[in-house]
Amino acid sequence: MKKLFLLIVALFISKINAQIDPVKYPTYTGIDDALQSKAPVYSISFRDKGLFNVPPDIKKLDALFFLNMMGNKLEKMDMEIFQLKELEILNVNQNSIKYIPDEIGELKKLKTFSMNMNNLTSINPNVSKLQNLKAIHLDANNLSVFPEALAQIPALEEINLQGNQISFITENITRIKNLKFLNLSANQINDLGNVEFPENLKYLELQENTITSVSDQLFRLKKLEFLNVSQNSLKEISSKIKGLKNIISLNLAHNKLTDLPEEIKELKKLKTLILTGNPMEKSKIGKLKALLPDTQIYF
């Protein structure tokens, strides 16, 4: 499964690198060169170096705000990492890390934390101490429950939990007031229950689960712009879908839908509707085209 997420990881790294001014903050790729620098070192990358441990002398780089340890052979997070008090971006993607140490809470300035493609089975509660965290990436691990620690970080704007074994979403998710992007695709969710999502959510990805119905609570998300519930087991959509006033893209592909409610015509901002792989008759398709004349519909 992990090979499927290499592209996702690569895109994420590109996004992170784009946030760093290469002139103002040159990224070093060797510890010796970094230590010899006369100017403060803010960024260092040991990507794909085959390392089993973080270089011990990294703790001397007390101005470091970006650390990339992606694609190595780490089995744990070395204590030197937690001595980097200025760290804002930490990437340990694609290693073999099994747990997050208690010391994670010492990285008070951390804003982006990425641990895609490791061997995590749970998330240390001390992650909740990262109150400045904006984005967390935990794709392609072995998590079976939604990490409760994340519900205690209201500043979070982005959560990625794609490709785990999560079967339900914590009801405490509503506490993450600033959450805008949530990816729970390719998990084992079959029931959304009465979960209320944060009202500021704009992007929600739930594809490749086994969801049988979409709760009315989800249709109350007035700021939601992109919703993907493709490759599930949906048989019908409630008329409450009209509540998605700002929806731009709606992906319902590869479900068991035979029709959609007439209220879908009230989605005035809908630009893209994907319905491929559903057992819809031609008459139903014609009706939808008439209800949504300004929407590009894919069957």
pLDDT in tens, the chain (299 residues): 444 444 444 444 444 444 566 667 799 999 999 999 999 999 999 999 999 999 999 999 999 999 999 999 999 999 999 999 999 999 999 999 999 999 999 999 999 999 999 999 999 999 999 999 999 999 999 999 999 999 999 999 999 999 999 999 999 999 999 999 999 999 999 999 889 999 999 999 999 999 999 989 999 999 999 999 999 999 999 999 999 999 999 999 999 999 999 999 999 999 999 999 999 999 999 999 999 999 999 99
Helix, strand and coil percent figures for the chain, each rounded to 5: 25, 15, 60
What tokens appear for 29 in the block? 């790729």
Residue 96's domain comprises 1-188
Please give the DSSP secondary-structure letter assigned to residue 53.
Answer: S
CB 255 within 8 A of CB 233: yes
Domain finish residue from 155, 188, 221: 188
| Same domain, yes or no: 210 and 278 | yes
| Same domain, yes or no: 28 and 91 | yes
Around 199, how many Cα atoms within 13 Å sit in the side-chain half-sphere?
2
pTM attached to this predicted model: 0.92
| Same domain, yes or no: 5 and 146 | yes
| Same domain, yes or no: 73 and 172 | yes
What CATH code is carried by the domain that includes residue 31?
A: 3.80.10.10
